[in-house]
Structure 1
């Protein structure tokens, strides 16, 4: 089994972090505009004091404390999620080298094996993931579901260390499932 770092996707929090970064940039832009207005470089009225005046007299309250606590907890959860690792995207190859294979490549190997099974007229991949490969097979009435599944599973197991589950949907050449 390889000892290097497994290829991984970005953590799910990346999209939210990007959104927060854009919001912070927008807030910085508003503050820079207000600075330019207060220095007389731009004409107009500052936006931040206008918003503060519109909010009115905000005082300490239980609701405000609960909202602040909820925002703090959400921030901590986002920090923990950002520190986590992304999901693995590839599977280890059964070899003494440190090589990885994508789910689509595993599906192609299983498809090739299913397509070569006796009685199979056509085979297609309808889904491929790290844990599961779904094949749709059209065959003659003599095509055996078990032989197709065995061929696809055996081909996939030769390619990767952790064998994905191969699901095969078999149709007879007449079109019935």
Structure 2
């Protein structure tokens, strides 16, 4: 089973890359503006000139070292984010011979579990939650109904409805509806 072709979320580094690209575009706009002004093609003053002159005649302040440490930490976080693997968004359908890779969305499994458990007599509402490890379903049942019997029937119905799409364990939690 190869996970190279697994459907995955968008990388977190994409958001960081977008922000860095916007910052570089802003620097380019400032540079182009300053070029136009210094060449005399337009009137005004260079935006970067004041910043450069201010830096040239300054001494180190007390806030520079903490700022450098913060910049180092931000750089380390960005480096970590760039190498962080993306999460899979779908679950692999179990296949005995592993010849084909078929993926199912957790939302689809959730809908199947919900409809299967709501078809059980005595169940008023079902709220499924599908994770990577299990399918949990919280069901509200009619007052006075046999909780264990409904939980077992709902579990069997969910396994039957999902069939070969998933081999995740199913946990059904029952709660009586208040009158």
Aligned residues: 171
Alignment partner of 2:176 out of 161, 171, 177: 171
Per-residue CA shift, 1:67-125, capped at 9, x if unaligned?
334323422331231122112211111224301111101111211221122322x3343
Greater relative contact order (CA < 8 Å, ≥ 6 in sequence): 1
State the secondary structure of the residue aligned to 2:89.
coil
Is the CA contact (8 Å cut-off) linking 1:93 and 1:101 kept in structure 2?
Answer: yes
Correspondence for 2:2: 3
Is the CA contact (8 Å cut-off) linking 1:153 and 1:166 kept in structure 2?
Answer: no
Alignment partner of 1:159 out of 162, 165, 171: 165
Q: Structure 1 pair 48/159, CA: closer, same or farther in 2 (3 Å)?
A: same
Q: Given the alignment of the two structures, is residue 98 of structure 1 paired with residue 101 of structure 2, yes or no?
A: yes
Q: Structure 1 pair 87/29, CA: closer, same or farther in 2 (3 Å)?
A: same
Per the normalisation by structure 2, the TM-score is 0.75
CA RMSD for the aligned pairs?
Answer: 3.0
Correspondence for 2:110: 107
Per-residue CA shift, 1:10-63, capped at 9, x if unaligned?
222322321221111111111111111111112100000112334562335675
Q: Structure 1 pair 171/43, CA: closer, same or farther in 2 (3 Å)?
A: farther
Matches of 2:176 and 2:48, distance apart in 1? 67
Correspondence for 1:123: 125
Per the normalisation by structure 1, the TM-score is 0.76
Q: Structure 1 pair 12/165, CA: closer, same or farther in 2 (3 Å)?
A: farther
